[in-house]
Chains A and B, each alone.
Chain A
Amino acid sequence: MTRIVEIPASLDDRSFEQFADSLSAGDPGAARPLFDARGVQWASPYGLVGLLTAGQAWQEARRERPLFTVPAHDDVARYWARAGFFQHAADLFELHGKVPKVKVDDHSDVLLGVTPVRASEDVHQVVGMIQERASRMLSDKLGLDAKATMGFAMALSEACQNIVEHAGTGGWVSVHAYSYRKRLGRRVVVIAVSDAGVGFRKSLEGEQARRYGDRWSDGAALEAAVIQGVSRFRDPGRGQGLAGIKRYLARWEGKLSIRSGTARIAIVPAWDEDVPLTEHLAYFPGAQLQVTIPASQVAE
């Protein structure tokens, strides 16, 4: 038996909730899912790594590959191919439809194609690859000070390390630049990191659940980690990765959002109208993090 999982025509961190709803609708464990991407016209890096995470979680739990239909629009399918999506999707999904044969392209607006993160060496590779490209993009296209580059690479490194340190399984990272005119009217660079691991709640449960009692939830775990800087380790030096990302974002008017389990938290800059904490969302495995750096207003 097959169950259709709808993918929104425009898949980003907001419309991701429609996808998560569809994924968890009915009896999600009963039938093999078919991820229907035929009608998709655009996907952010958050959408792409989220799709892979859904496939990974299903495969790790059921030992079978879910089905996936490739976007019908050739341009969309080509973009996804250039962004490295199909290269990894082929291992996780049974792909249906025409997958374009194009090279993964890290030189256009795709600063970093979809890249697996499993170990410390992967973080080194990612940071090493991104610096020169990020420098060009942040200064030339976004009009940010050269100082923004190092902080950007640092934020990327810390975001990827969350997978290595806490997820208990592998994950994915991707970095794109695109025009965000609908909500912001400017270009942005977006770091998206997603894993199918244990999530923030389970990661922090041993140290924090008793303190919170009945209030312990995905939302409480996200608040503890992101707002209070709590870590599952007793070492007081831990928990500095997210603190470092927040510090960087405060300087460059950036936005951080993290979804884990059934909750989503956001550090919202003045230009955005997102809500700080959303709970009781459809369950989605692991953790999904997005960092958004906007172009300077002068550059636009």
Chain B
Amino acid sequence: MMIQKIPVDRVLREAVATPYRDLVTRATGAAVRIGIEREIIAADCLTTLLDFSAVGLVDFSCADEVVAKLLLGEALPAGRHVVLWGMNEDHSEAIDHVLRHRDLAILVLDGEPGGLRVLGRLADDPAAAFGEVRRAGPLNISALAAELAWSLERAARALETLVLLRLLRAEDSTYRPVPTA
């Protein structure tokens, strides 16, 4: 299976054994993250979509525990991706804030497949490279360098940064958008 979808509200209910729909407090965040990590390991999919559509409030502390620490943790092997889905403006703001604090970034899927954007901190070159892959589709280092009038080294650095941040997928010598469908 390529894609796995995890309803975060369901993990929240299971983690705290109560009908809360708000992701608040570090303790709750840690419990939810552990639940998500278990499901990611068990399914072993290329992409995990975290579905926030039925989640109420997300506070900064909980966003840090759930999203930032998930990206930093060992439950997410290299080459695996996490994409946030069903986010509202308040969710995005809290998660963006904590990711920037840690120099991290994550993909968000809005609406149709392929409509990926980035939350968190992304330097100018990787941001430009991400925009180019999103616009033009899969490309290699020389194609990106030619398109943006960069040196090969600069293009390679930007694309590798995006792979390390799990924002692009590298296959052979081609860099592709993360599959979401």
Contact = CB atoms under 8 A, between A and B. Distances in A.
Interface of A: 119-121, 123-124, 127-128, 131, 147, 150-151, 153-154, 157-158, 161, 164-165, 236-237, 240-241, 243-244, 247
B90 A151 contact: yes
B20 A150 contact: no
B79 to A, nearest CB: 24
A123 to B, nearest CB: 5
Contacts of A157: 22, 24-25, 57, 59, 61
A241 B63 CA distance: 11
Contact of B26 (A128, A147, A153, A165): A165
Q: Is the interface of A mostly helix, strand, loop or mixed?
A: helix
Contacts of A164: 25, 27
Interface stretch (B95-103, B112-120, B141-149): B95-103
A236 to B, nearest CB: 6
Nearest to A153: B57
Interface string B51-79: 00000111111001000110000000000
Nearest to B91: A150
Contact of B25 (A120, A147, A244, A247): A120
B94 interface: yes
A156 B22 CA distance: 13
Given A154-B90, A164-B27, 9 more contacts: A120-B27, A121-B16, A123-B24, A124-B18, A154-B60, A161-B59, A164-B25, A240-B61, A241-B59
B89 interface: yes
A164 B27 CA distance: 10
Interface residues of B, number: 25
Nearest to B88: A150
A244 B90 CA distance: 12
Contacts of B97: 240, 243-244, 247
Contacts of A165: 26
B28 interface: yes
Given A147-B89, A240-B61, A124 B22 contact: yes
Q: Is the interface of B mostly helix, strand, loop or mixed?
A: helix
Nearest to B21: A128
25 contacts: A120-B25, A120-B28, A121-B16, A121-B18, A123-B24, A124-B16, A124-B18, A124-B24, A127-B22, A128-B20, A150-B57, A154-B58, A154-B60, A158-B60, A161-B25, A165-B26, A237-B64, A237-B68, A237-B98, A237-B101, A240-B61, A240-B98, A243-B60, A243-B97, A244-B97
Contacts of B20: 124, 128
Contacts of A153: 22, 57
Contacts of A161: 24-26, 59, 61
A131 B68 CA distance: 26
A194 B181 CA distance: 49
Nearest to B72: A237
A241 B60 contact: yes
Contacts of A151: 90
Contacts of A150: 57, 90
A150 to B, nearest CB: 4
B66 to A, nearest CB: 11
